[in-house]
């Protein structure tokens, strides 16, 4: 081998080593690393966006709950307002009816007496008594009525001997309630206060 040929041998060998290294290089491994890095980045980006979406959804949910609560409160306020308005209208209509009844107490009136064991008073008309009762009703109060009031057709002679019968008293109270019912549109209540009087309201 000549000197020039020997000098060229190492260079050839080195060239061959490089070629072998090039041949042993695997580009897929680098691709895998790059793909893995890109996948991690995509996952992080997705999780970040998902977290943002969840925050927005939670915020909207809370806002929606608040608005529902406000709507329910407004509905309750409207219901309470309607109840108060209906109550005021009912009171107003009742007062108007009372005013009318106060001026028409002669309608449905009847005759009665005030009497006890020893006295038999002259018959009276229930118009005045009804007007007085309605006057008290108009200011939200009741009125006392005597237990001595009886119907005029009750036997006065029997009363003198036996005292004022409860039958005559109950007949008067029944008729008086009926008189007021025709005027005001509903029957008033009667309650015993003592042996001498009843309240009507």
Over the stretch 53-82, which tens digit does the pLDDT of each residue have?
778 777 777 777 777 877 888 888 888 888
CA pair distance 127, 185, nearest whole angstrom: 16
**Which has the minimum average pLDDT: 18-22, 77-81, 168-172?**
18-22
The C-alpha atoms of residue 167 and residue 54 are separated, in whole angstroms, by 83
Please tell me which of 109-113, 145-149, 154-158 the model is most confident about, judged by mean pLDDT. Answer: 109-113
Phi and psi at residue 122, to the nearest 5°:
-70, 155
H or E stretch covering 46: helix 27-102
Residue 116: the pLDDT is 66
pLDDT band, very low/low/confident/very high, at 158 (cuts 50, 70, 90): low
In eight-state DSSP terms, residue 122 is: P
According to the model, what pLDDT value does residue 135 have? 94
Which range has the worst mean pLDDT, 46-55, 95-104, 144-153, 177-186?
46-55
- What number of other Cβ atoms are within 10 A of residue 123's Cβ? 13
Residue 198 has what pLDDT? 87
The CA distance from 17 to 20, in Å, is 5
3-state SS assignment for residue 199: strand
Q: What is the pLDDT of residue 46?
A: 73
As a whole-number percent, the residues of the chain with pLDDT over 70 amount to 69
CA distance 47 to 105: 85
Query: CA nearest 151: which of 129, 173, 130, 134?
Result: 173
Q: How far is residue 34 CA from its own chain's centroid?
A: 66
Angular region, 80: left φ>0, alpha ψ -120 to 50, beta rest: alpha
Q: What pTM was estimated for this model as a whole?
A: 0.57
């Amino acid at each position: 081998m000549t000197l020039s040929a020997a000098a060229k041998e190492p260079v050839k060998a080195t060239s061959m080593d490089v070629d072998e290294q090039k041949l042993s290089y695997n580009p897929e491994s680098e691709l895998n690393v790059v793909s893995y890095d890109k996948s991690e980045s995509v996952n992080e980006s997705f999780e970040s966006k998902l977290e943002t979406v969840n925050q927005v959804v939670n915020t909207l949910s809370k806002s929606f709950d608040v608005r529902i609560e406000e709507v329910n409160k407004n509905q309750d306020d409207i219901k309470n307002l309607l109840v108060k308005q209906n109550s005021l209208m009912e009171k107003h209509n009742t007062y108007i009816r009372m005013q009318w009844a106060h001026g028409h107490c002669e309608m449905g009136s009847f005759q009665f007496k005030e009497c006890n064991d020893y006295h038999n008073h002259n018959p009276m008309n229930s118009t005045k008594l009804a007007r007085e009762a309605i006057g008290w009703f108009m200011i939200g109060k009741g009125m006392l009525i005597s237990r001595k009031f009886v119907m005029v057709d009750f036997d006065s002679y029997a009363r003198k001997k036996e005292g004022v019968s409860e039958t005559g008293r109950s007949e008067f109270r029944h008729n008086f309630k009926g008189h007021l019912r025709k005027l005001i549109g509903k029957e008033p209540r009667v309650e015993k206060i003592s042996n001498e009087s009843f309240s009507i309201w």
